[in-house]
């Protein structure tokens, strides 16, 4: 009795699958291109090019089908074909009255099957990622250019999701004490609703995730601890935090002190942010923006659990809806995958 093959391994079945992918890609290119927005123009061009490549691959499969090609060779053709469907990058600037520049640059990666602002299917998960000191939205742009997120989607490391970030300067994503810059308010009240509204993602708390490294880890933990009702998971890597619960507890060993000692200009910025020079911060403001203090003060709604063995992880939230930043949620699994080397 001859060996049986899965339908996807037969040239005919593979050809049908390839043709479907081609049709879907062409449709997406047309829809994104019809939006007319400059931020979608590059994505439409990329998709059109991808459709051309897919068309060529379908032609090869047709030849292979007629020649009776099967097994591993045909399987490789389909693998190459399917992986040409790529995520799209949206870059833009959001006007706001909450920061001195009156505008904030952003970048958003939408997964291959996303249909832009016309997507009316089930909402995608949303991962808000925060860059570290001296970083910007360029970090996410480069990840997209390198195909990092497409590789994770294809490998099943995480499900397809929307990834969004901003260029947040070196401001710790906080509302300044003197109210000259209100970064946290911008993220929660303006940027998050903007991404949810325009990209069909993060419609519920269970679909919203936070990630950040260094200064971004500080911001991610602070947002999660202060707004556990808005985020289902958080992953922070080498977060720039101090364990001191009060500013009076800061010593020269703490990074907050070191920041202030850098220059007079740094001291002025610290005063704007925290209400004084280290360790003479405004105590209430410090507790509202220091992740360690927030974890302590919001203990009723935040649970901290360390999982062993393996990477340390945080389980946060209320008794009714615990937050989890361990490797269980698939979106957070991608975060752990990205930063495993530093854990």
Concatenating the DSSP letter of every residue in 230-263 gives T-SEEEEES------SSGGG--TTSHHHHHHTS-
Chain mean pLDDT for the chain: 73
Burial of 194-219, coded b for 16+ CB within 10 Å and e otherwise, reads: bbbebbbbbeebebbbbbbbbbbbbb
Q: Which residues pair with 182 in a beta bridge?
A: 175
CB-based contact 183:173 (threshold 8 Å): yes
Q: What percent of the chain has pLDDT over 90?
A: 36
pLDDT bracket for residue 336 (50, 70, 90): very low
* pLDDT for 126 beyond 80: yes
Instruction: Tell me which residue has tokens 């061009």.
Output: 45
Q: Which DSSP letter does residue 84 get? A: T
pLDDT bracket for residue 256 (50, 70, 90): confident
CA distance 83 to 324: 31
pLDDT bracket for residue 103 (50, 70, 90): very high
Could you tell me which residue, 164 or 295, shows the higher pLDDT? 164
CA distance 299 to 287: 13
278: Cβ contacts below 8 Å, ≥ 6 apart: 247, 250, 254, 256, 257, 259, 260, 261, 270
pLDDT bracket for residue 248 (50, 70, 90): confident
pLDDT bracket for residue 333 (50, 70, 90): very low
Mean pLDDT of 250-267: 69
* pLDDT for 47 beyond 70: no
The confidence score (pLDDT) of residue 149 equals 94
Rounded to 5 degrees, φ, ψ at 92 are -170, -170
Q: Which of 163-172, 246-255, 260-269, 280-289 has the highest mean pLDDT?
A: 163-172
- Specify the long-range contacts of residues 298-307, CB closer than 8 Å, at least 24 apart: 298/225, 298/226, 298/228, 301/228, 302/225, 302/228
Burial of 294-304, coded b for 16+ CB within 10 Å and e otherwise, reads: bbebeeebbbe
Q: Residue 50 CB: number of other CB atoms within 10 A?
A: 20
The confidence score (pLDDT) of residue 240 equals 84
CA distance 316 to 161: 22
User: What is the C-alpha end-to-end distance of the chain, expressed in Å?
Assistant: 52
Cα dist from 26 to 70, 165, 174, whole Å: 27, 28, 43
Strand ordering across the sheet containing 233-237: 88-95, 103-110, 162-166, 126-130, 208-213, 233-237
Report yes or no on whether pTM surpasses 0.75. no
* pLDDT for 203 beyond 90: yes
Could you tell me which residue, 226 or 189, shows the higher pLDDT? 189
Mean pLDDT of 30-51: 50
């Amino acid at each position: 009795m001859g060996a049986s093959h899965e339908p996807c391994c037969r040239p005919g079945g593979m050809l049908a699958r390839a043709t479907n992918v081609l049709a879907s890609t062409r449709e997406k290119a047309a829809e994104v291109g019809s939006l007319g927005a400059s931020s979608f123009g590059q994505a439409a061009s990329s998709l059109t090019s991808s459709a051309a490549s897919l068309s060529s691959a379908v032609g090869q499969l047709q030849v292979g089908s007629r020649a009776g090609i099967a097994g591993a060779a045909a399987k490789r053709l389909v693998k190459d074909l399917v992986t040409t469907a790529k995520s799209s990058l949206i870059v833009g600037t959001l006007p706001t009255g909450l920061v001195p520049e009156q505008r904030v640059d952003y970048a958003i990666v939408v997964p291959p099957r996303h249909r832009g602002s016309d997507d009316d299917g089930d909402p995608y998960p949303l991962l808000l990622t925060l860059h570290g000191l001296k970083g910007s939205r360029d970090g996410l742009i480069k990840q997209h250019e390198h195909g990092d997120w497409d590789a994770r989607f294809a490998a099943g490391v995480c499900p397809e999701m929307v990834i969004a970030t901003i260029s947040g300067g070196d401001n710790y994503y906080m509302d300044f004490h003197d109210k000259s810059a209100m970064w946290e308010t911008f993220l929660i009240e303006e940027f998050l609703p903007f991404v949810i509204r325009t990209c069909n993602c993060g419609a519920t708390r269970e679909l919203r995730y936070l990630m950040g490294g260094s200064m971004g880890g500080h911001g991610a933990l602070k947002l999660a601890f202060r707004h556990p009702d808005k985020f289902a998971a958080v992953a922070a890597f080498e977060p720039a935090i101090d364990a001191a619960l009060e500013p009076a507890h800061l010593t020269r060993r703490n990074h907050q002190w070191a920041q202030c000692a850098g220059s007079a200009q740094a001291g002025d910025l610290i005063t704007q942010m925290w209400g004084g020079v280290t360790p003479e911060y405004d105590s209430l403001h410090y507790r509202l923006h220091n992740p360690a203090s927030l974890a302590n003060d919001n203990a009723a709604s935040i649970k901290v659990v360390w999982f062993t063995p393996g990477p340390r992880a945080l389980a946060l939230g209320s008794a009714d809806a615990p937050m989890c930043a361990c490797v269980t949620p698939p979106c957070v699994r991608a975060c752990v995958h990205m930063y495993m080397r530093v854990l």
